[in-house]
Amino acid sequence: MKRVAIISTGNELLYGRFQDFNSYAISKSLFPTEFTVVLHMTTGDVVEDLDHALRTALSSADIVIITGGLGSTDDDKTIEVLQRIYGFETVVHKEEYEKFQKFLEILGRETLQADLKMLSVPKGATVFQNERGFAPGFALEDNDKLIIVMPGVPYEMQCMFENKVMPFLFERLQGCRDHCIVRTVLMRESEINELIQQMRIPFDDIEWGITTTPGMNTITFVAKGGCSFSREAVISEARRIFSTRMLMPESENLEMEVLHLLSENGVTIATAESCTGGLIAKRLTDIPGSSNAFLGSVVAYSNNAKIDLLGVPAEIIQQHGAVSEEVAREMAYGAKEKFYAHIGISTTGIAGPEGGTEEKPVGTVCFGMATEGEVQTFTERIAMDREGVRFYASQYLLNRVRIHLLSIRKN
C-alpha cells in the first residue's frame, strides 16, 4: 500500500479567502484505493516554505501530490522549488503551447514571456494535458519517490486528476480495492454507527468511514489490504438495516433520486418557496433531464407575492402569520394548481439570524406537500445558521417527497 502526501499551495488558502477543495477531492478519490493519504499540508507562495513542505512530504510518503503554483505570475513557485531539489531543465510543452496560441488568436493578443512559464514542464517528465485550462500537470520519478504536480484551480485539477492522474497511478502502481458507497438521509452519525454494528458483514475484512453533510451521510465500505468482499451483499445488508433512510446506490444525492422516482412514476412537481429562496428548484434543475418532471417554481418571499402569485388568502396570513402550516398548505396547493403539476411543495420559515419570536424562533420552517386529493403540512425547528437552515429545509422536504414517491412505487 503506497503512502500519499498532498501539498496545496497558494497564499489565498492561508488567508482564508478560499477553502482547500483540492486536498479533499484527491483524498476522497483515493480512499477506496491502495493509495493511503497520510498527510495534508498547505503552504503559501514562499520558496523556503514550499521547499520545507516538499522535503517533509517526501520523508513521510511514497507519492507526493502538489496542487498550485503553475501559473504565469511571480508568485507561482512550484517548478522553481522542484528545480532546487532535482536540478532539471524545463521545456515549453508543444501541445499546450499550440492550444494557448489558438486561444490568443481569437482574442487578438500575443504570447508574453510570462505565458511560457505557465506552459513549461520539466524535461523528461510525464505530462498530463490540461483539458480545462492551459497549465499542464506532470509527474517526476526519483528512485522510489513519485511527485505529481497539478494546477491549483479546482475544476482544472479535478478533471486532470480523474482523467489523467488516476489512470496513470493505476497503470504504474496498483489497482482499486473492493468498495461500495451507501448514502443515508436525515440521520445522526451515532445512529448510523449503532446500526452498522448490526450488519451481517465480514468486519474483519472491511473498514468503513462516514462523511457528513447537512441532512446526509455518505458511508464508504472498503476492503482491508489483501481482502475482498461482495458489494451486493453489503448493499443488501445496508438496505435491510437503513430501509427507506437509504438512497438507491446509483443516487448521488436526494434531488437525483427524487427526479428518478418522479420520472419512473410519471409524476410532475412544482415548488413554492419562501425561506429557501428557490434552492429546491435549483437543486432539481441542476440535474440534466429535470424538465421531464419539474415544471416550475414561484419564489414568494413577501406576503403580497404569496397572495398574488399563489392565491394564499390574505386573512390566513393575518390570522396565522406567514410562517405557519396554514400558509404552507395554501402555497403548496397554489404551486400544484398554477403549474398543473401532480405534486406541489412549499417552504415558509425564519432562516435568521433575525426575525424569530418566542412562539416561532429562528429556524422554524413550515412545509406543505399537495398531492392528488390531499395536502400534508409539517413543521421543523432547525438549529443551524441561515445557510444551514435553508439547505436542511430543502433536504427535509425533498426527502418527504422521496418517501411519498416510494410509497407510490410500492403500490
Q: Give bridge partners of residue 186 from the DSSP assignment.
A: none
Q: Are the C-beta atoms of residues 379 and 304 closer than 8 Å to each other? A: no
Residues 49 and 67 both lie in one domain: yes
Residues 158 and 23 both lie in one domain: yes
Residues 333 and 375 both lie in one domain: yes
Residue 145 has pLDDT above 70, yes or no: yes
pLDDT, tens digit (0-9, with 9 covering 90-100), for 89-119: 999 999 999 999 998 888 898 888 888 999 9
pLDDT at 110: 85
CA–chain centroid gap for 66, Å, is: 21
Distance CA 125, CA 121 (A): 7
pLDDT, tens digit (0-9, with 9 covering 90-100), for 241-287: 999 999 999 998 999 999 999 999 999 999 999 999 999 999 999 99
Residues 189 and 117 both lie in one domain: no
Residues 113 and 10 both lie in one domain: yes
Q: Are the C-beta atoms of residues 148 and 5 closer than 8 Å to each other? A: no
Contacts of residue 337, Cβ cutoff 8 Å, sequence gap at least 6: 311, 344
Number of residues in the chain: 411
pLDDT at 174: 63
pLDDT at 31: 83
Domain end (from 245, 272, 302): 245
pLDDT at 209: 85
Tell me the pairing of strands 374-381 and 120-122: unpaired
Residues 148 and 220 both lie in one domain: no
Stretch 38-65: mean pLDDT: 96
Domain end (from 154, 172, 190): 172
Residue 128 has pLDDT above 70, yes or no: yes
Domain hosting 287: range is: 254-410
pLDDT, tens digit (0-9, with 9 covering 90-100), for 381-400: 999 999 999 999 999 999 99
Percentage of the residues of the chain whose pLDDT score is greater than 70: 99
Buried b (16+ CB within 10 A) or exposed e, 230-256: eeeebbebbeebbeebbbeeebebbbb
Distance CA 52, CA 48 (A): 6
pLDDT at 252: 87
Stretch 184-199: mean pLDDT: 94
Residues 194 and 121 both lie in one domain: no
Residues 264 and 354 both lie in one domain: yes
Distance CA 184, CA 193 (A): 12
Residues 158 and 262 both lie in one domain: no
Distance CA 234, CA 313 (A): 51
Residues 146 and 259 both lie in one domain: no
User: CATH no. for residue 320?
Assistant: 3.90.950.20
Stretch 309-335: mean pLDDT: 98
Residues 137 and 274 both lie in one domain: no
User: CATH no. for residue 17?
Assistant: 3.40.980.10
Instruction: Name the domain count of the chain.
Output: 3
pLDDT at 410: 61
pLDDT at 345: 98
Residue with more model confidence, 342 or 28 = 342
Domain end (from 172, 204, 219): 172
Residues 388 and 362 both lie in one domain: yes
Residue 232 has pLDDT above 80, yes or no: yes
pLDDT at 327: 98
Stretch 38-46: mean pLDDT: 96
Residue 176 has pLDDT above 80, yes or no: no
pLDDT at 7: 98
pLDDT at 411: 62
Output the 3-class SS for the chain. Answer: CEEEEEEEECHHHHCCCCCCHHHHHHHHHHCCECEEEEEEEEECCCHHHHHHHHHHHHHHCCEEEEECCCCCCCCCCHHHHHHHHHCCCEEECHHHHHHHHHHHHHHCCCCCHHHHHHCEEECCCEEECCCCCCCCEEEEEECCEEEEEECCCHHHHHHHHHHHHHHHHHHHCCCECCEEEEEEECCCHHHHHHHHCCCCCCCCCEEEEEEEECCEEEEEEEECCCCCCCHHHHHHHHHHHHHHHECCCCCCCHHHHHHHHHHHHCCCEEEEECCCCCHHHHHHHCCCCHHHCEEEEEECCCHHHHHHHHCCCHHHHHHHCCCCHHHHHHHHHHHHHHHCCCEEEEEEECCCCCCCCCCCCCCEEEEEEEECCEEEEEEEECCCCHHHHHHHHHHHHHHHHHHHHHHHHHC
Residue 177 has pLDDT above 80, yes or no: no
Residue 403 has pLDDT above 70, yes or no: yes
Mean pLDDT of the chain: 93
Q: Give bridge partners of residue 273 from the DSSP assignment.
A: 299, 347
CA–chain centroid gap for 121, Å, is: 31
Q: Are the C-beta atoms of residues 408 and 244 closer than 8 Å to each other? A: no
Q: Are the C-beta atoms of residues 185 and 215 closer than 8 Å to each other? A: yes
